[in-house]
């Protein structure tokens, strides 16, 4: 175990969840709606065509279509009906839904639906936390190899006070850095790392629900990571 100093380099509000929708999924939307398009079209053009196709369906039918074809493994027919008719139109449904394993998926649906129907669906917003990890003894690449969603959430909790949603709900799982924490896969919607010369940046995307109560007085925390040798 090596000691590593971690800090929050930046906290930003974003609208786009990286890799939420793929070019293949946009093409599937066009194909399922029997919309003819040039297979050689660039991804941005395909994206724009998919939005137009959804607009032709109307808000409720577009929501039902997306949920039925891209989220049917998570929601029952009844849940899809409730989401498409009511819940997706409410404020920040990606934070309010009871099952946190569905939050990222609901955000994905909301992001595209808002693009097609900005007056009918809530404007999507999420948070990006950029952590800085540095150590005199460990190279940034070695730190990167040790990171995973569980560790990132456990590190995040150390910058929050005890009243945060994260610390109140998962006190036991957050206590020991590196311990298994299955719920972290539902909290970390997307992450990536960026090795710099003397520091590693780790970008974490999640909802504001998990980011509240950041303690600005905590400049950095010292952690020990189980490094791969």
State which of 95, 116, 137 marks the end of a domain: 116
Pair (6, 58) in one structural domain: no
Pair (74, 97) in one structural domain: yes
Pair (89, 173) in one structural domain: no
Closest CA to 206 of 128, 122, 98: 128
User: Is the Cβ–Cβ distance between 171 and 87 less than 8 Å?
Assistant: no
Partnered with residue 201 across adjacent β-strands are 132, 194
**33, 56, 84, 89, 226 from 110: Cα distances, Å:** 20, 17, 10, 9, 37
Spatial distance between the Cα atoms of 86 and 140, rounded to a whole number of angstroms: 46
Which pTM does this prediction carry? Answer: 0.93
Spatial distance between the Cα atoms of 125 and 146, rounded to a whole number of angstroms: 29
Encode the chain (229 residues) as per-residue pLDDT tens digits: 778 999 999 999 999 999 899 999 999 999 999 999 998 899 999 999 999 999 999 999 999 999 999 999 999 999 999 999 999 999 999 999 999 999 999 999 999 999 999 999 999 999 999 999 999 988 999 999 999 999 999 999 999 998 999 999 999 999 888 888 999 999 999 999 999 988 999 999 999 999 978 888 899 999 988 776 5
Sheet hosting strand 190-195, strand order edge to edge: 190-195, 200-206, 126-134, 2-14, 220-225
Q: Domain tally for the chain?
A: 2
Q: What is the DSSP string of 57-107?
A: H-HHHHHHHHHHHHSTTT--HHHHHHHHHTGGGSS-HHHH-S-GGGHHHHH
State which of 64, 89, 116 marks the end of a domain: 116
Residue 129 lies in domain: 2-15+125-225
State which of 69, 94, 116 marks the end of a domain: 116
Kindly state the helix (H) or strand (E) to which residue 142 belongs, with its residue range: helix 140-146
Pair (221, 144) in one structural domain: yes
Spatial distance between the Cα atoms of 6 and 69, rounded to a whole number of angstroms: 41
């Amino acid at each position: 175990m090596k000691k590593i100093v971690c800090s929050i380099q930046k906290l930003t509000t974003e609208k786009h969840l990286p890799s939420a929708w793929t070019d293949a999924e946009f093409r599937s939307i066009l194909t399922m709606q029997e919309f003819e398009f040039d297979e050689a079209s660039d991804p941005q053009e395909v994206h724009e065509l998919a939005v137009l196709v959804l607009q032709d369906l109307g808000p409720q039918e577009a929501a039902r279509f997306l949920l039925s074809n891209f989220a049917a493994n998570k929601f029952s027919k009844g849940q899809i009906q409730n989401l498409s008719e009511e819940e997706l139109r409410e404020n920040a449904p990606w934070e309010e839904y009871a099952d946190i394993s569905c939050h990222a998926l609901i955000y994905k649906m909301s992001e595209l639906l808002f693009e097609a129907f900005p007056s009918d669906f809530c404007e999507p917003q999420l948070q990006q936390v950029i952590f800085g990890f540095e150590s005199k003894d460990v190279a940034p690449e070695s730190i990167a190899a040790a990171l995973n969603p569980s560790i990132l959430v456990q590190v995040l909790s150390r910058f929050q006070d005890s009243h945060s949603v994260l610390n109140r709900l998962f006190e036991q799982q957050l206590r020991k850095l590196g311990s298994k924490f299955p719920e972290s896969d539902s909290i970390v919607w997307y992450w990536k790392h960026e090795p710099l010369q003397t520091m590693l940046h780790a970008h974490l995307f999640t909802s504001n629900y998990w980011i509240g109560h950041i303690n600005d007085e905590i400049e950095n925390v010292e952690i020990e990571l189980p490094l791969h040798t």
